[in-house]
């Protein structure tokens, strides 16, 4: 064996990429100040010959009888919906989300439901003392749920204990960034610790069939490794979202090795915990009576469920030649820039000397591409200072040429809008299914939209 050589290693705490010199910005993910020096990796100068000395592996046909995919519902329907039907035994789930958004609350509630239904649950808190978790449990009226609770941070202690008992149906680790392994150098929360600890816990889950949930904090400061370094290691990546100032929380599935990722779970945060919101279609409307310039209602689709969302735009004319601001909450920045460019070049509107603010009401984050037309309608309405007709909805995708393109499931969107009292819709040509009580306005292009609103 040759001499071991060592090199300085700087690991991006956001995405895990390694570089050999320090840089202010990660060249892979573009985050700033996320590079931190970590224990040097050992590099052997002599190559190992891997072509002999191993044990033969067994090959299997693809149609070999295997275990059927059995899901265990948590009993929290909105959680199960976002999971795609429940927890898959032996799977690893990463639950990300901003500080204080409600991750521990959600998981304790799910754990409580499973435990009360007779499932064995182990909840390991590395963040809070057992007493703190008990206080939360009391507030959630779960104090009597037979959950095994422990405050621990050593993965060796946790796995030693678990290996001495029947594997639980659910193992919650809150959070992975507080865990440490004595076989790995570095402080808890560094990329190598987070990866190494996750690796051991995931192996335990795979071997025993326990479903594993790892809580992962989303951080930007680079002191702690973020969930992105784990995304490829786990089977399911979920994100718990919302604005802390609003009561609504959305559980999204960003990656799912066992199913689709298009359903969301919707909850409302209350004093006694998260309440499930089975019918979220009205939540993200402001409920104002008088129509306001710059506000447009968009019928979004979240998986199979329609959700009506209010898009709000504000335009402020600048007197001086200062660079105008564009600020977006709840929608894609790049998409807004594109829409503004299309409105300028295809419709002759001028936003160049104006500040543009775009907000999606209720802390909602819009990802449905059909939102383009509603955003454009809000922008044009704000620019012209003319409110849009009340009780109307807008949907359609906008192309660079300024055409309004068809979108998925116009009928579902229209029917839900009608149910909630909207009797006027604007969208792409051909999308107006024959829903007699709704007046459907075909808008083939943005130019036509501008005509309709500004004239």
User: Which one, 49 or 271, has the nearer CB to ligand ATP?
Assistant: 271
How many positions of this chain bind ligand ATP (CB under 6 A)?
A: 14
Residues 124-163 touching ligand ATP, rule: CB under 6 A, are 127, 139
CB of 101 to ligand ATP, least distance (A): 5
Q: Which of 104, 239, 281, 392 binds ligand ATP (CB under 6 A)?
A: 104
Does 181 engage in binding with Mg ion (CB under 5 A)? no
Position of minimal CB gap to Mg ion = 104
Tokens of 453: 């609103």
Segment near ligand ATP (CB under 6 A); pick from 101-109, 187-195, 376-384, 439-447: 101-109
Q: Which of 152, 268, 269, 285 binds ligand ATP (CB under 6 A)?
A: 269
Contact 327, 357 (CB under 8 A): yes
Residue by residue, what is the 3-state secondary structure of the chain?
CCCEEECCEEEECCCCCEECCCCCECCCCCCECCEEEECCCEEECCCCCCCCCCCCCCCCCCCCCCCCCCCECCCCHHHHHHHCCCECCCCEEEEEECCCCCHHHHHHHHHHHHHHCCCCEEEEECCCCHHHHHHHHHHCCCCCCCEEEEECCEHHHHHHHHHCCCCCCEEEEECHHHCECCCCCCCCCCHHHHHHHHHHHHHHHHHHCCEEEEEEECCCCCCCCCHHHHCCCCCEEEEEECCCCCCEEEEEEEEECCCCCCCCEEEEEECCEEEECCCHHHCECCCCCCCCCCEEEEEEEECCEEEEEEEEEEEEECCCCCCCCEEEECCCHHHHHHHHHHHHHHHCCCCCCEEEEEEEHHHCCCCCHHHHHHHHHHHHHHHHCCCCCCCEEECCEECCCCEEECCCCHHHHHHHHHHCCCCEEEECCCCCCCCCCCEEEECCEHHHHHHHHHC
CB of 35 to Zn ion, least distance (A): 8
Does 110 engage in binding with Zn ion (CB under 5 A)? no
Segment near ligand ATP (CB under 6 A); pick from 48-56, 64-72, 95-103, 329-337: 95-103
User: Which one, 16 or 96, has the nearer CB to ligand ATP?
Assistant: 96
Residues 24-63 touching Zn ion, rule: CB under 5 A, are 26, 28-29
CB of 334 to Mg ion, least distance (A): 32
Does 292 engage in binding with Zn ion (CB under 5 A)? no
x/- mask, ligand ATP, residues 213-232, rule CB under 6 A, reads ----x---------------
User: Which one, 139 or 448, has the nearer CB to ligand ATP?
Assistant: 139
Does 14 engage in binding with Zn ion (CB under 5 A)? yes
Q: Which of 86, 96, 102, 306 binds ligand ATP (CB under 6 A)?
A: 102
User: Which one, 127 or 200, has the nearer CB to Mg ion?
Assistant: 127
Q: Which of 13, 34, 91, 104 binds Mg ion (CB under 5 A)?
A: 104
Neighbours of 219 (CB within 10 A): 18
How many positions of this chain bind Zn ion (CB under 5 A)?
A: 7
Q: Which of 66, 100, 287, 348 binds ligand ATP (CB under 6 A)?
A: 100
Tokens of 109: 């509630």
Q: Which of 87, 101, 300, 414 binds ligand ATP (CB under 6 A)?
A: 101
Q: Which of 16, 90, 97, 410 binds ligand ATP (CB under 6 A)?
A: 97
User: Which one, 104 or 359, has the nearer CB to Mg ion?
Assistant: 104
Does 105 engage in binding with ligand ATP (CB under 6 A)? yes
Q: Which residue has the tokens 């071991």?
A: 4
Q: Which residues bind Mg ion (CB under 5 A)?
A: 104
Q: Which residues bind ligand ATP (CB under 6 A)?
A: 97, 99-105, 127, 139, 217, 244, 269, 271
């Amino acid at each position: 064996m040759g001499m071991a050589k060592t090199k300085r290693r700087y690991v991006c705490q956001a995405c895990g990429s390694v570089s050999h010199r320090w840089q202010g910005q990660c060249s892979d993910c573009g985050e700033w100040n996320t590079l931190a020096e970590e224990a040097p990796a050992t590099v052997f100068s002599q190559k190992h010959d891997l072509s002999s000395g191993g044990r033969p592996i067994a090959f299997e046909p693809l149609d070999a009888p295997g275990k059927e995919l059995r899901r265990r519902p948590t009993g929290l329907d909105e959680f199960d919906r976002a999971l795609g039907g429940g927890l898959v035994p032996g799977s690893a789930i990463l639950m990300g989300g901003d500080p204080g958004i409600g991750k521990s609350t959600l998981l304790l509630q799910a754990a409580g439901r499973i435990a009360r239904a007779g499932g064995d649950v182990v909840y390991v808190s590395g963040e809070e003392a057992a007493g703190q978790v008990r206080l939360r449990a009391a507030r959630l009226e779960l104090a009597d749920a037979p959950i095994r609770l422990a405050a621990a941070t050593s993965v060796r202690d946790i796995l030693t204990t678990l290996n001495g008992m029947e594997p639980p149906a659910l193992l919650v680790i809150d959070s992975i960034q507080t865990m440490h392994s004595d076989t790995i150098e570095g402080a808890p929360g560094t990329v190598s610790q987070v990866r190494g600890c996750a690796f051991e816990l995931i192996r335990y889950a795979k071997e025993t069939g326990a479903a594993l949930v790892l809580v992962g904090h989303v951080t930007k400061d680079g002191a702690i490794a973020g969930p992105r370094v784990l995304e490829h290691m786990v089977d399911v990546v979920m994100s718990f979202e919302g604005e802390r100032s609003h009561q609504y929380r959305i559980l999204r599935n960003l990656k799912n090795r066992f199913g689709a990722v298009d359903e969301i779970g919707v909850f409302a945060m209350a004093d006694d915990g998260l309440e499930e919101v089975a019918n979220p279609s009205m939540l993200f409307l402001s409920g104002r009576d008088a129509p306001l310039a710059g506000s447009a209602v968009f019928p979004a689709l979240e998986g199979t469920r329609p959700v009506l969302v209010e898009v709000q735009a504000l335009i402020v004319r600048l007197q001086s030649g200062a660079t105008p601001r564009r600020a977006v909450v709840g929608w894609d920045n790049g998409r807004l820039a594109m829409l503004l460019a299309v409105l300028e070049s295809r419709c002759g509107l001028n936003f160049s000397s104006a500040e543009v603010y775009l907000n999606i009401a209720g802390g909602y984050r819009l990802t449905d591409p059909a939102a383009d037309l509603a955003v454009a309608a809000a922008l044009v309405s704000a620019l012209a200072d003319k409110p849009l007709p009340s009780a109307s909805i807008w949907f359609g995708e906008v192309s660079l040429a300024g055409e309004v393109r068809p979108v998925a499931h116009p009928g579902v969107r229209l029917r839900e809008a009608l149910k909630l009292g909207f009797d006027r819709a604007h969208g792409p040509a051909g999308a107006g299914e024959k829903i007699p009580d709704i007046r459907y306005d075909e808008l083939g292009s943005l130019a036509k939209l501008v005509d309709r609103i500004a004239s």
